[in-house]
Structure 1
Amino acid sequence: MEINTGNLRTLGTGFSAAFRGGLGMAPPQHLEIASVVPSSTGKNEYGWLNQVRGMREWLGDRVLNQITQSDYTIKNKDWEDTIEVERNDIEDDNLGQYGMLFTEMGRAAAAHPCELVFALMKAGFSTPCYDGQYYFDTDHPVLDEKGAVTSVANTDGGVGAPWFLIDVSRVLKPIIFQERKKVQFITKDNPNDENVFWRKKFVYGADARYNVGFGFWQFAWGSKQPLTAANYAAARAALMGMKGDYGRPLGLLTGAKPLLLCAPSLESAALKIVNNELGADGETNEWKDTARVLPSAWLA
Structure 2
Amino acid sequence: MLTQAQLDALKTTLKARFNAGLALSPDDWRKVAGYIASDNKSNTYAWLTQFPAFREWVGSRLHKKLSEKAYAVVNKKFEATIDVERTDIEDNSFGHYGTLAEGQGQAATDLKNDTIFQAYPAGFTSLCYDDQYFFDTDHPAYENEDGTGAITPVSNMQAGSSAPWILLCTKRAPKPLYLQERSAAAFESVTSPNNQNVFDLDVYSFGGRWRGNAAYGFWQCAFGSKAQLNTSNFNDAYDAMMNFKGDGGRKLGIIPDTLLVGVSNRVAAEHLITTQKLANGADNPLYKRVELVVTPWMD
TM exceeds 0.5?
A: yes
Give the aligned partner of residue 154 of structure 1.
Answer: 156
1:22-171 matched pairs, under 5 angstroms: 22-144=21-143, 147-171=149-173
User: Which whole-Å deviations, capped at 9, do the CAs of 1:234-272 have from their partners, x for residues lacking one?
Assistant: 11100000111111111011xxx7001111122221122
| Partner-residue secondary structure (3-state), 2:297 | helix
Output the amino acid matched with 2:207. Answer: G
| Partner-residue secondary structure (3-state), 1:125 | coil
Output the amino acid matched with 1:276. Answer: T
Moved more, 145-154 or 130-139: 145-154
Give the aligned partner of residue 209 of structure 2.
Answer: 207
Give the aligned partner of residue 271 of structure 2.
Answer: 272
Alpha-carbon shift at residue 281 of structure 1 (Å):
4.7
Alpha-carbon separation, structure 2, partners of 1:52 and 1:104: 40
Alpha-carbon separation, structure 2, partners of 1:224 and 1:274: 18
Alpha-carbon shift at residue 54 of structure 1 (Å):
1.8
Alpha-carbon shift at residue 280 of structure 1 (Å):
4.8
Alpha-carbon separation, structure 2, partners of 1:213 and 1:60: 37
Moved more, 156-165 or 62-71: 62-71
User: Which whole-Å deviations, capped at 9, do the CAs of 1:134-157 have from their partners, x for residues lacking one?
Assistant: 111111111146931011110111
Moved more, 47-56 or 114-123: 47-56
User: Which whole-Å deviations, capped at 9, do the CAs of 1:192-240 have from their partners, x for residues lacking one?
Assistant: 2222122211011211221111001010111111110111111110000
Output the amino acid matched with 1:125. Answer: F
Query: Which of 214, 228, 231 is the aligned partner of 1:229?
Result: 231
1:183-262 matched pairs, under 5 angstroms: 183-253=185-255, 258-262=257-261
Alpha-carbon separation, structure 1, partners of 2:280 and 2:4: 73
Alpha-carbon separation, structure 2, partners of 1:20 and 1:198: 30
Stretches (4+) displaced over 6 A: none
Contact 2:51–2:174, Cα closer than 8 Å, also in 1: no
Q: Percent identity?
A: 37
Alpha-carbon shift at residue 133 of structure 1 (Å):
1.1
Give the aligned partner of residue 174 of structure 2.
Answer: 172
CA RMSD of aligned residues (A): 1.6
Alpha-carbon shift at residue 163 of structure 1 (Å):
0.8
Output the amino acid matched with 1:83. Answer: I
Contact 2:101–2:207, Cα closer than 8 Å, also in 1: no
Alpha-carbon shift at residue 101 of structure 1 (Å):
1.0
**Compared CA separation, residues 72 and 208, structure 1 to 2 (3 A):** same
Contact 1:125–1:135, Cα closer than 8 Å, also in 2: yes
Give the aligned partner of residue 12 of structure 2.
Answer: 13
Moved more, 231-240 or 168-177: 168-177
Alpha-carbon separation, structure 2, partners of 1:289 and 1:98: 44
Moved more, 57-66 or 9-18: 57-66
Contact 1:48–1:70, Cα closer than 8 Å, also in 2: no
Task: Provide the aligned length of Structure 1 versus Structure 2.
Answer: 296
Alpha-carbon separation, structure 2, partners of 1:11 and 1:48: 47
Alpha-carbon separation, structure 2, partners of 1:206 and 1:92: 25
Contact 1:48–1:69, Cα closer than 8 Å, also in 2: no
Alpha-carbon separation, structure 2, partners of 1:202 and 1:69: 49
Structure 2 unaligned spans of 5+: none
Contact 2:157–2:225, Cα closer than 8 Å, also in 1: yes
Output the amino acid matched with 2:287. Answer: K
Alpha-carbon shift at residue 282 of structure 1 (Å):
4.4
Q: TM-score, normalised by structure 1?
A: 0.94
Output the amino acid matched with 2:191. Answer: D
Moved more, 183-192 or 229-238: 183-192
Q: TM-score, normalised by structure 2?
A: 0.94
